[in-house]
Structure 1
Amino acid sequence: MSSSGAPDVPAPNAPAPDVPARTAAALIGWVALSVVLPGAAHLRGGWWRTGALLLGSYLTTVVCLIAIFTGADAGLAGRALNWLTQMSLAAAVCGAAWFCLVIHSFLVLRPGTLPRGGQIVTGAVCGFLAVVVAAPFALAAQYLSVSQRTLDTVFTGDGANGQGRDPWAGRDRVNVLLLGGDWGEGRVGVRTDSINVASVDLRTGKALLLGLPRNLEHVPFPPGSPMALRFPYGFELPESRPGWREDLLFSVWQYADDHPELFGGRRHMGAETLKETIGYILGIRVDWYALVNIWGFAKIIDALGGLVLTVDRDIVFGKYDEGVVRAGTRRLSGAEALWYARSRTYSDDYNRMRRQRCVFGALLRQADPRAVLGRFTEIASVARRIVRTDIPRPMLEHLVPLAWKVKHAEVTSLQFVPPLISTAYPDWERIRLLAAKAVRQSVREPDGPSHPRLRPGPTPEPASGPIDEGCGAL
């Protein structure tokens, strides 16, 4: 009672004197409850207005997030790539706010009313709880920041496409040249040992993988191009030493890089030249390329936990044939998967192409999001060092939903290897006809007619098959 006889009225936001946490266990329980229901401890401690504001804001945010994620699709994931910096900052702010929330929840419950031992125990537990609660936000902020740096480093291609209302400019397919190279210390230039074009139907996500041998001879170049003017009868060079050929398909990139005088002094024309050359060989337009250093590829596979593959026979490798990947079905390490895909000992380029296709298929099937998240920083660091591409950064917004379609659609493959074609004297017209037929087959509905814009091709041979055809059977 006051001196005037009127009862005391607490301040609107002052803690009520009769509702302290009675025991250390109760205090810890209320603080823990505040982690999932912010404001609960404040309400218990008599901070009615603050508690109601915290709880109401939290529930409103949860409802909004549920509504967003309920209607979310791969398109939203693609658009989110444009907000990585803001999302990283928001995660950091949320982590700091939740940390402060736990500490303040502890304080409003008046731990000073507990015995000294209880104060020490509850303070330590609640401090640990604050760190544990903030850690996921800090980790998310780190992942988002790493993602931003990785994307900005890898996707440096120029171009305004991706900004308009129709990023595909009315097209119904997109073609990406997928290359495996071996640049690095101790090696001069880039040799593109693995050459495939992923042709993807934009509507269905059905993908066709067109593979070309690295040892194609007499490679033709688009009429009127600098390389065609230099090699009007196909890519032919004198032997650098007896039996040593440098005028095969895998050398086109490096030859263009080594001869800027062919391009009016412009340097680093290898990628663009190879794109135009592959497009001309297959009779398609190649939109972009992605080049992966195959020696760093093994680290990616290791980070994913390896690949389960069925090796149909022992694969010997090494300078002196000292290594072997044994036949059988098991999980291969990155190094084993790499040698399985690359070795030509007691084999040839065409069997190697088949094995590379098997590795592609295994990656498509076995990529585990949990493994990616668990080794995310390591994978991102490796990716920045081993991947080159000219895909513009703004196009990622549209490629992410397309990749989601590909993940859940049929992937077929056509490999241009003997006896289908001769690598020494390729029939270029036949290659184009088979590629066109494979594209028509890839857009055909399971039980329906071909795409209405396409007509049946003139070649009777089956054009393509599943990407894992020939894989997995002992």
Structure 2
Amino acid sequence: MSTPVRNPDSTSPEVMTKRAWWLVVLNVLIPGSAQVLAGNRKLGRFGLGATLVLWAAIVVLAVLWFTAREFTITLMTNFWMLWIVQFGLAFYAVLWVILTIDTLRLVRLIRAKPTARPLVAGLTVIALVATAGTAAYGAYLTGVGRGTIESIFGGGNVAEPIDGRYNIMLLGGDAGPDRMGLRPDSITAVSIDAETGAATMIGIPRNLYRVPFSADSPLLQEYPNGYDCGDECLISYLYTYGEEHPELYPDAASQGSTPGIEAMRDAVEGVTGLTMQYYVLIDMQGFADLINALGGVTVEVPERVVLGINGREPVGAIEAGTRTMDGAMALWYVRTRYDTTDFVRMERQRQIQQAIMTQFEPTNVLTKFQAIAEAGAQVVRTDVPQGMLGRFTDLAGKTQAQPITDLELVPPQIDHIHPDYAHIHQMVADATSPAEPAS
């Protein structure tokens, strides 16, 4: 059937201008429709079909997001699904380039009014960037995300909550040129209610003595009365001990861990009485990159902090008050030892950890996704499997909506040289028990 759009009066600039606007706008709103009306119908039907498939996929995804968010996140962080999404976005980018260029051909711009020609051409370029450009960039970011997930998260076991909670050991690895290997500078047990997302962060001092081990720990035979070797046997030294005795943990590598991390896991379980289902190791040397990728972190500094190392001249100071820190400043804030104690440093470390947790919001991540992904791949190691990403991402949203309970196992609450571990276990149990409902 012949229509004015397919067979217009090409001698009339008014008709051709109106037709040009219709075709360009239709190409933006319903890709493929311009070809069905005025060009190659086979190409148009293919473009329309692809458009309808995309709309249907978006609708299904939106419904799943509001009705089964955890499943949706798990699906969209699956390695093979990300391959499909990346391929699909690349396909639509190419398709929209073809349809837009063909639409510009169908417009017959030379027949439109001279004053309308640059406007029509400009809208076509904008449409090309908005559709094909966005799809191409989305395909690129999907590839970045897929690579990051593959490099950080493995395919380990999906764990069920223990007593209604997920427990994760968070280590800040402090490797440097003046150290023999890595030594955990920051040790935290994070316990999260599997239903509400309520989180408790348990700070463990790196200079804690006589750490006990559970009955199934291979360290128990060597140290049946706790980690006491007659010298300074601090909990942080167990990482090095584990690395020097890999025969204690022969399956560590196959489970996405290391003997040093497993030794620390046994120690943290002995201290807290909690089973650590997963670990996250953050390289403090690359810590600054992650914070810079986030755009900095904002913390409330309670008092002036001098930056430096005892015995050397200070290099600066951070004044009290609300401070937005870049990576370098945040790293100084958590590591400075000038005229301070390890226990004060622990409080500052926990401040930065909580600031990152609360400021790691979807809008912030999306706008800085590439930088965050690249930084995360460099500084984070974990045995959290891909299959748990949906669950933990959903819980993280709930955690951000409420205050985080902070339990610091430091003096005067405990004696770090002669600790009463039964008392510590009770403190942890109290801190991780569900809150009593309000009267």
Q: For the structure 1 residues 153 and 281, does the alpha-carbon distance in structure 2 shift closer, same or farther, using more than 3 Å as the test?
A: same
Q: Which amino acid aligns with 1:293?
A: D
Distance in 2, matches of 1:213 and 1:232, equals 22
1:219-368 equivalences under 5 Å are 219-223=211-215, 225-237=217-229, 245=232, 247-263=233-249, 268-319=258-309, 320=312, 321-368=314-361
Distance in 2, matches of 1:349 and 1:366, equals 26
SS at match of 1:98: helix
Give RMSD over aligned pairs. Answer: 3.3
Give % identity. Answer: 31
Aligned equivalent of 1:203: 195
Distance in 2, matches of 1:187 and 1:350, equals 21
CA shift at 1:81, angstroms?
0.9
Is 2:49 the partner of 1:78?
A: no
8 Å CA contact 1:13–1:48 kept in 2: the answer is no
Q: For the structure 1 residues 174 and 33, does the alpha-carbon distance in structure 2 shift closer, same or farther, using more than 3 Å as the test?
A: same
CA shift at 1:57, angstroms?
6.5
The one of 161, 164, 174 aligned to 1:182: 174
Is 2:365 the partner of 1:372?
A: yes
SS at match of 1:204: coil
8 Å CA contact 1:15–1:108 kept in 2: the answer is no
Q: For the structure 1 residues 174 and 22, does the alpha-carbon distance in structure 2 shift closer, same or farther, using more than 3 Å as the test?
A: same
CA shift at 1:100, angstroms?
1.4
Q: For the structure 1 residues 184 and 20, does the alpha-carbon distance in structure 2 shift closer, same or farther, using more than 3 Å as the test?
A: farther
8 Å CA contact 1:13–1:46 kept in 2: the answer is no
Q: Residue deviations 1:329-375, cap 9 Å, x none?
A: 23122111222222232111111111222222322333343442333
8 Å CA contact 2:197–2:398 kept in 1: the answer is yes
CA shift at 1:265, angstroms?
10
CA shift at 1:54, angstroms?
5.3
Aligned equivalent of 2:409: 416
8 Å CA contact 1:31–1:126 kept in 2: the answer is yes
Q: Which has the larger radius of gyration?
A: 1
8 Å CA contact 1:191–1:254 kept in 2: the answer is yes
Q: Residue deviations 1:253-283, cap 9 Å, x none?
A: 1111112354579873111121122112211
Q: For the structure 1 residues 114 and 357, does the alpha-carbon distance in structure 2 shift closer, same or farther, using more than 3 Å as the test?
A: same
8 Å CA contact 1:306–1:331 kept in 2: the answer is yes
Distance in 1, matches of 2:283 and 2:29, equals 45
Q: Residue deviations 1:5-61, cap 9 Å, x none?
A: xxxx86x99932437893686536641442123345446637778768856874675
Distance in 1, matches of 2:124 and 2:107, equals 12
Total equivalences in the alignment: 425
CA shift at 1:202, angstroms?
0.9
Gaps of 5+ in 2: none
8 Å CA contact 2:201–2:404 kept in 1: the answer is yes
Distance in 1, matches of 2:28 and 2:251, equals 63
TM-score for both structures, normalised by structure 1 = 0.79
Select between 305-314 and 107-116 the one with higher mean Cα deviation: 107-116
1:427-438 equivalences under 5 Å are 427-438=420-431
Larger helix proportion, structure 1 or 2?
2
Distance in 1, matches of 2:50 and 2:247, equals 65
TM-score for both structures, normalised by structure 2 = 0.85
The one of 142, 145, 152 aligned to 2:143: 145
Select between 428-437 and 276-285 the one with higher mean Cα deviation: 276-285
Distance in 2, matches of 1:69 and 1:238, equals 61
Distance in 1, matches of 2:382 and 2:101, equals 47
